[in-house]
Every structure is written in C-alpha cells, then in structure tokens.
C-alpha cells in the first residue's frame, strides 16, 4: 500500500536506529513519552524498543480513548443499553471494557439487550432510520481524530429531523491531557521521568501542530509529531535526541506529509459549531481535568443522550489491584501490575489498558512479554 | 481508535462522497471534511471519513531523509567490515 510500505522498510529502520545509537549520549538517559496509543501499538508491533540503546526509554502515554474513559461513564452506557427501547451503538473496543462489577457491554448484550458494533458512526444514522420505534444512541468516544465524524453525524441527524437518534458524547482533548500529565503529584515531586513527547499522528492532522507550542514554552518539554509507521517513530526519536543534545526545545513535525501548523480548518470549524468544552471531565488515572472534554452544543441539544434520558453522572468501582491508572500517568509499567498476564489478558481483560490494541498492557502482552523478560534477566546478570 | 489508513481517491460522487481504493477494494467514503479533492489524491481515512489530504512532496522529502540515513548506515557497515578484516590480517 502506498504511503505505508515505504515507511516500514527494514533496512531503513536499521539505518535510523544506527544513527540513534551514534548520536545518543551514553552519559545520559532519554525518557520519551509517546502520548498516543497508536504509537504504543506500532512501537511494540515493530520491536522498536529492541532497536534502541538502553538509555533511550519509551514511556507509554494515556492516548487511548478506551483506556482513559472512567468506569462511571461506561456504567452510564450500560444503564442506557439496558433500557428496553434503546439500541446502543459504539466502536468495537468499547464492548469489551469491564465496568463496575466486571459488567461490560458485551455481557449486557448477552442479557438480550441490543448493543451494536459500528465501523463508522454514519451506520448509526442508518440504524435509526431502519428502527423508527427504537431510540438509537451512539456511544461516542475518542480524541480529536474521531470527533469531526461525530460532528458530521450530529449535523446530518439535525438535517434529517431524526427524533430517535442521540449521541452519548465522551470526546476528549489531547493537549489538556498533556498538561495534566505534567501537573500530577508525581510530576511535581520529580517521580515522572520525562524529557520530551512523541506527538500524535492523526490527532495532529486535525488540530495541527500549533496547540503543542505551550509545552516547550511552559514546561521545557520538546514535542516531535510523528506518523504511525515504524520509520516515522524512529525518526521522531532521533529528532528528540538531537533537540535534547543541542539544548533546543521546540515543536517539530516529522509527519509533514499529513500535518500542518494549522491542521484541518474545515474540521476544526465544524467541531467548534457542534460541541462545547466541558468545565471538567474525569479521566481514568488522571482524575478530573479542566476543559479536557467536549459536550454537545445547545443548538444540537435535542440529540444529546445525556439530556434526552436525564443521565446522572455515575462514579463506578475500580478493580483495586489494577494498575491502569498509574500506567496511564506514565509512572508504572504493565509489568509492575500483579494482574498482568495472569489473570489479566487480552482474552480476559480486567483493566481497560488490556482491552484495546492501543492499550499499553495489550501491546506489551501481544508483542513484548517474552523479549522484555529476557532483557530484564540480562540486566540482572550484568 | 485513531487508526487510519492512506487511500487513493478513484472517483468523486458528489461534494461529500467519493469512491476510494482501499488495498484493492473500492468503497464509498465520506469526504465532507476535505476540500478541493481530485481523483488520484491520497487521503487519510478514519471510520469511513477522509480526514486530510496527504502531501506527496512532503512524503518524498521524508523518504529522501531516510535514504540519506540508509547511506550513512551502509558506510558505517563497510567501515566496520574493513576494520574486522584488518584485525583478522593482524592476527
């Protein structure tokens, strides 16, 4: 596939990794956070940690919407799905996340409720048109990449005067979460080792590179926006190492083939029209973050499931042994969790980070659980 | 969730829809978010919607950079091999 295969070339990957080993200063450590779950997945799938010298460490960030959705919001969706008049539609990953008491939407579906998996949110409109006697609710989650399609669907529903369609909106914002990571108690006490960010790929195609400019300015953390292919990730790591070596601190863009400073103006204007910022929103692991999520604007209030069904905010019960919250803050590794691999696996996930392929635990389990233990043993032997 | 793939526009249906080639499969996609689309353009496709056009010149520039690093690595490999050979010679 064009624009994919040439960014996965093995010889070039070896070359960029060789350059990283040349330029990385053995006297220091480079702690780099990939914000995005898409990067976490690529990093493990292509074995990137094995190509890096031991002093270049990758920290996995919270950029996985399934992972950061608090259990209470999922419990609200479970309540909706259990209403006899409702067809609840959502993306596949969301079905398997365990809510309070380990009740997932998959389990609720097994009770006989109508929960459907979507490829595209446009399909939810079709389902509403085909089922005029039912209330069709689209359980919308996702970062800035996924928000514009939801906005288009809301506009379409309004145009079609659909009276049986609504959206349970859980869209969240990347820059707000990055600010939150740099303001946790761990960050304040110095326990968060973080020298720079690998910035999101597809989120940035929409919002552009400008919204990352505060991070070098306010926190002294460089950001390099990277595509999701393995060569993109390696090149971004090299660019971050160069910035840190040269004492530079700025926003750089490796993914120039799809990201501009301004982003997609049409998509941004649409999102601005259809949504508003929430005062505050709860994130799993990061707690309540001000202005970090979107709700539906008053002009589209008729399509807001929270208003239509009078939903009340639920708080949910976390599994106490699950380390997802600390993993999402970048202060713990999946290996630090006593549930990892036994009993928590992708087939039997106990925490959200094991559900989505973008979750750090799932990526570790699928691609890194053996190689990582080998590395750990070698370190002990040395 | 943010997974998206580059696809080629094969035909424009109207202002908001196009046919795209997705790994050999033709599928209708929504293009309402992208302006000035032409047949032959590549777009990033996410949950059935084109998010942005890909810039072929920028892609070529990035690939040229990788090419340069590839040549550097080849030079390093050659130097290493030469080094090993001369070591063997001394032994």
Q: Which domains does chain B carry? A: 5-81 (2.30.30.140)
Report yes or no: A205 at the B interface, CB cutoff 8 Å. yes
Residue with the bigger pLDDT between A258 and A191: it is A258
Judgement on whether residues A107 and A62 belong to the same structural domain of the protein? yes
Judgement on whether residues A52 and A146 belong to the same structural domain of the protein? yes
**B61-90 average pLDDT score:** 86
Which residues of chain B have a CB within 8 Å of the CB of A19? 69, 72-73
- Domain assignment of residue A81, yes or no: yes
Tokens of A348: 């039997």
- What is the per-residue DSSP string for A264-310? -HHHHHHHHHHEEE-SEEEETTTEEEET-BEEE-GGGGGGBHHHHTT
Question: Is the pLDDT assigned to residue A192 strictly greater than 90?
Answer: no
Whichever domain contains A18, its CATH number is 3.40.50.11740
Judgement on whether residues A358 and A256 belong to the same structural domain of the protein? no
Judgement on whether residues A69 and A35 belong to the same structural domain of the protein? yes
- Closest by Cβ to A15, choosing from B33, B63, B73: B73
Residue with tokens 């939801």: A150
Residue A357's nearest CA partner among A90, A49, A37, A94 is A37
Judgement on whether residues A173 and A193 belong to the same structural domain of the protein? yes
pLDDT at A378: 44
Q: Measured between CA atoms, how close is A122 to chain B, in angstroms?
A: 8
Cβ A202–B51 below 8 Å, yes or no? yes
Which residues of chain B have a CB within 8 Å of the CB of A89? none
* Number of other residues whose CB lies within 10 A of the CB of residue B20: 23
Instruction: Search chain A and give the residue with CA nearest B16.
Output: A152
In percent, how much of chain A has pLDDT > 90? 85
Which residues of chain B have a CB within 8 Å of the CB of A266? 33-35
Judgement on whether residues A341 and A212 belong to the same structural domain of the protein? no
Length of chain B: 91
ipTM of the prediction greater than 0.95, yes or no: no
DSSP summary character for residue A131: -
Which residues of chain B have a CB within 8 Å of the CB of A203? 2
Which residues of chain B have a CB within 8 Å of the CB of A11? 70, 73
pLDDT at A346: 93
Question: Is the pLDDT assigned to residue B67 strictly greater than 60?
Answer: yes
pLDDT at B90: 59
- Domain assignment of residue A218, yes or no: yes
Say what the pTM is: 0.93
Q: The domain containing residue A368 runs over which residues?
A: 324-376
pLDDT tens per residue, range B4-63: 999 999 999 999 999 999 988 999 999 999 999 999 999 999 999 999 999 999 999 999
Report yes or no: A180 at the B interface, CB cutoff 8 Å. no
Interface of A with B in 308-347 (CB under 8 A): none
Residue with the bigger pLDDT between A330 and B15: it is B15
Report yes or no: A138 at the B interface, CB cutoff 8 Å. no
C-alpha distances out from residue A345 to A107, A139, A337, A349, B61, Å:
17, 25, 12, 5, 41
Instruction: Search chain A and give the residue with CA nearest B74.
Output: A15
pLDDT at A369: 72
pLDDT at A1: 87
DSSP summary character for residue A329: T
- Closest by Cβ to A14, choosing from B4, B51, B73: B73
pLDDT at B83: 82
Q: Terminus-to-terminus CA distance in chain A, angstroms?
A: 43
- Closest by Cβ to B52, choosing from A18, A121, A258: A258
A249 by Cβ neighbours in 10 Å (0-12 / 13-18 / 19+) ranks as: middle
Instruction: Search chain B and give the residue with CA nearest A263.
Output: B52
**A243-265 average pLDDT score:** 98
Q: How many A-B residue pairs are in contact by the CB < 8 A criterion?
A: 137
Residue A287's nearest CA partner among A167, A181, A169 is A181
CA distance A92 to A15: 37
Pick the last residue of a domain from A316, A349, A364: A316
C-alpha distances out from residue A137 to A72, A83, A145, A165, A306, Å:
17, 11, 20, 6, 10
Q: Measured between CA atoms, how close is B81 to chain A, in angstroms?
A: 15
* H or E stretch covering A338: none
Q: For all residues of chain A together, what is the average pLDDT? A: 93
pLDDT at A64: 92
Residues of B with CB under 8 A from a CB of A: 1-6, 8, 23, 30, 32-35, 42, 44, 46-49, 51-52, 54-56, 58-59, 61-63, 65-67, 69-70, 72-74, 76
- Domain assignment of residue A78, yes or no: yes
Pick the last residue of a domain from A270, A299, A316: A316
Q: Measured between CA atoms, how close is A108 to chain B, in angstroms?
A: 22
Residue A168's nearest CA partner among A284, A271, A312, A326 is A312
Judgement on whether residues A364 and A257 belong to the same structural domain of the protein? no
B88: confidence class by pLDDT, cuts 50, 70, 90 = low
Question: Is the pLDDT assigned to residue A79 strictly greater than 80?
Answer: yes
- Domain assignment of residue A202, yes or no: yes
Judgement on whether residues A261 and A308 belong to the same structural domain of the protein? yes
- Domain assignment of residue A382, yes or no: no
Number of domains making up chain A = 2
- Domain assignment of residue A381, yes or no: no
Judgement on whether residues A328 and A311 belong to the same structural domain of the protein? no
Strand bridging mode A280-283 / A287-290: antiparallel
Judgement on whether residues A187 and A312 belong to the same structural domain of the protein? yes
- Domain assignment of residue A198, yes or no: yes
Instruction: Search chain B and give the residue with CA nearest A229.
Output: B5
Which residues of chain B have a CB within 8 Å of the CB of A202? 2-4, 44, 46, 51
Which residues of chain A have a CB within 8 Å of the CB of B55? 256-258
- Domain assignment of residue A3, yes or no: yes
pLDDT at A318: 82
Rg (CA), chain B: 22
- Closest by Cβ to A2, choosing from B3, B42, B66: B42
Residue A108's nearest CA partner among A128, A94, A118, A129 is A94
CA A196 to chain centroid: 18
Judgement on whether residues A365 and A265 belong to the same structural domain of the protein? no
Pick the last residue of a domain from A283, A298, A316: A316
Judgement on whether residues A214 and A349 belong to the same structural domain of the protein? no
- Closest by Cβ to A36, choosing from B2, B6, B73: B2
């Amino acid at each position: 596939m064009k624009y994919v295969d040439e960014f996965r070339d093995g010889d070039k990957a070896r070359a960029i990794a060789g350059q990283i080993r040349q330029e990385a200063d053995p006297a220091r450590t480079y702690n780099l956070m990939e914000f995005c779950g898409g990067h976490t997945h690529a990093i493990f799938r292509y074995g990137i940690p094995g190509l890096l010298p031991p002093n270049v460490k990758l920290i996995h960030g919270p950029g996985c919407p399934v992972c950061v959705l608090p259990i209470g919001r999922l419990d609200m969706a479970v309540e909706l799905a259990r209403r006899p008049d409702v067809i609840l539609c959502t993306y596949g990953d969301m079905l398997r996340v365990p809510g309070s008491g380990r009740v997932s939407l998959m389990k609720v579906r097994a009770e006989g409720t109508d929960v459907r998996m979507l490829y595209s949110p446009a399909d939810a409109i079709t389902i509403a048109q085909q089922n005029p006697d039912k209330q069709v609710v689209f359980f919308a989650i996702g970062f800035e990449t996924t928000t514009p399609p939801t906005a288009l669907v809301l506009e379409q529903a309004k145009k079609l005067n659909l009276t049986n369609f609504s959206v349970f909106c859980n869209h969240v914002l990347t820059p707000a979460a990055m600010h939150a990571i740099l303001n946790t108690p761990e960050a304040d006490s110095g326990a968060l080792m973080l020298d720079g960010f690998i910035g999101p790929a597809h989120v940035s195609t929409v919002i552009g590179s400008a919204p990352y400019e505060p991070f070098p300015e306010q926190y002294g953390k460089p950001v390099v926006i990277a595509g999701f292919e393995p060569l993109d990730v390696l090149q971004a790591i090299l660019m971050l190492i160069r910035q840190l070596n040269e004492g530079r601190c700025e926003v750089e863009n490796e993914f120039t083939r799809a990201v501009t400073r301004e982003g997609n103006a049409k998509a941004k204007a649409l999102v601005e029209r259809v949504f508003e910022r929430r005062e505050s929103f709860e994130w799993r692991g990061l707690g309540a973050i001000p202005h970090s999520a979107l709700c539906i604007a008053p002009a589209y209030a008729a399509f807001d499931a929270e208003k239509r069904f009078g939903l009340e905010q639920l708080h949910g019960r976390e599994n106490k042994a699950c380390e997802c919250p600390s993993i999402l803050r970048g202060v713990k590794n999946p290996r630090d969790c006593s549930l990892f691999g036994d009993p928590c696996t992708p087939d039997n996930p106990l925490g959200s980070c094991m559900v989505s392929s973008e979750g750090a635990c799932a990526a570790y389990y699928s691609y890194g659980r053996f190689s990582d233990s080998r590395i750990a043993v070698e370190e002990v032997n040395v | 969730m943010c997974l998206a793939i580059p696809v080629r526009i094969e035909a424009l249906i109207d202002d908001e829809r196009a046919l795209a080639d997705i790994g050999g499969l033709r599928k209708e996609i929504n293009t309402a978010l992208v302006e000035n689309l032409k047949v032959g353009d590549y777009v990033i496709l996410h949950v059935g919607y084109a998010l942005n056009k890909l810039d072929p010149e920028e892609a070529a520039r990035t690939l040229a950079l990788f090419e340069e690093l590839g040549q550097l690595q080849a030079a390093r490999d050659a130097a290493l091999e030469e080094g090993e050979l001369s070591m063997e010679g001394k032994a």
